[in-house]
Amino acid sequence: MDLGIKGRRAIVCASSKGLGRACAIALANEGVHVTITARGAEALAKTAAEIRAANPGITVTEVAGDITTPEGRAAVLAACPDPDILINNAGGPPPGDFRNWTRDDWIKALDANMLTPIELIKATVDGMMARKFGRIVNITSAAVKAPIDILGLSNGARAGLTGFVAGLSRKTVINNVTINALLPGPFETDRLRSTAKGEAEKRGVTPEQILADRAKLNPAGRFGDPEEFGLACAFLCAAKAGYITGQNILLDGGAFPGTL
């Protein structure tokens, strides 16, 4: 299926690895020029080179920096001031017990997973509306729908973003600018593998054992493949996806047990 977005420009935040990288690849495969970001320049350059090699006809711009800082966001916006597509993403906050979290811990989580996407939307949405095309996808978490107790910082910050977007996305769609969220369940990325490492040490088993046990618990019997996530993201950015806005779409292999 041709998604009708060839030649569009996208900012894909936090995209040297994992889900962000998969979104950048899927968009590039549709002929979208991508500006990709991450803090680590080496992995970012490697991903950029891979995308370029697979899609010689598009421009791939790398911006190394921390997207949760004003400087990081300014650098990305300088490289791509008028994006047609914005994929918001950043690392997730650490797990823990809320009794141990300080105000600073909360501010960091809010900065990364609520205020950074809102700042980037603020910087780009009016231009998209004026040009009558825009697709914004926020990568949040299945925890928005089914909170995970030890991920309270993530539950709180992402719920804040979701509430904000619920209002705005009904105002932008009149100008063909949609804002949706993709809610990942367990996808096989570095983040998933690193959480298994910690749990394995605690339980005295191998990380592979932890991952195999966790995969079995999912109704699909496996973790999600980042490529599946990237393709769903590209679909939400399609020219003909202009009637989907304000939605929070779970990609979790059926793990959420509710009817709706």
Region label for 74, one of left (φ > 0), alpha (ψ between -120 and 50) or beta (otherwise): alpha
Q: How far is the CB of 147 from ligand NAP (least distance, A)?
A: 12
DSSP state string for 31-73? T-EEEEEES-HHHHHHHHHHHHHH-TTS-EEEEES-TTSHHHH
Tell the smallest beta-carbon distance from residue 17 to ligand NAP (Å). 4
Tokens, residue 82: 């008028």
Q: Identify which of residues 139 and 179 has a Cβ nearer to ligand NAP in the complex.
A: 139
Q: Min. distance of Cβ 176 from ligand NAP in angstroms? A: 27
Pick the closer one to ligand NAP by CB: 51 or 177.
51
By C-beta, is 23 or 128 nearer to ligand NAP?
A: 23
With a CB cutoff of 8 Å and minimum separation 6, the contacts of 30 are 2, 3, 5, 6, 234, 237
Least distance (Å) from ligand NAP to the CB of residue 168?
20
Candidates 89, 109, 98; CA nearest to 189 is 89
Residue closer to ligand NAP, measured from CB, 2 or 190: 190
Give the three-state DSSP class for 88: strand
* Contact set with ligand NAP (CB under 6 A): 14-20, 37-40, 43, 66-68, 89-92, 139, 141-142, 184, 186-187, 189-192
Query: Residue 248: enclosing H or E segment and its boundaries?
Result: strand 248-251
Identity of the residue, 15 or 124, whose beta carbon is nearer to ligand NAP in the bound complex: 15
Q: Report the nearest approach of ligand NAP to the CB of residue 42 (Å).
A: 8
Residues β-bridged to residue 87: 12, 137
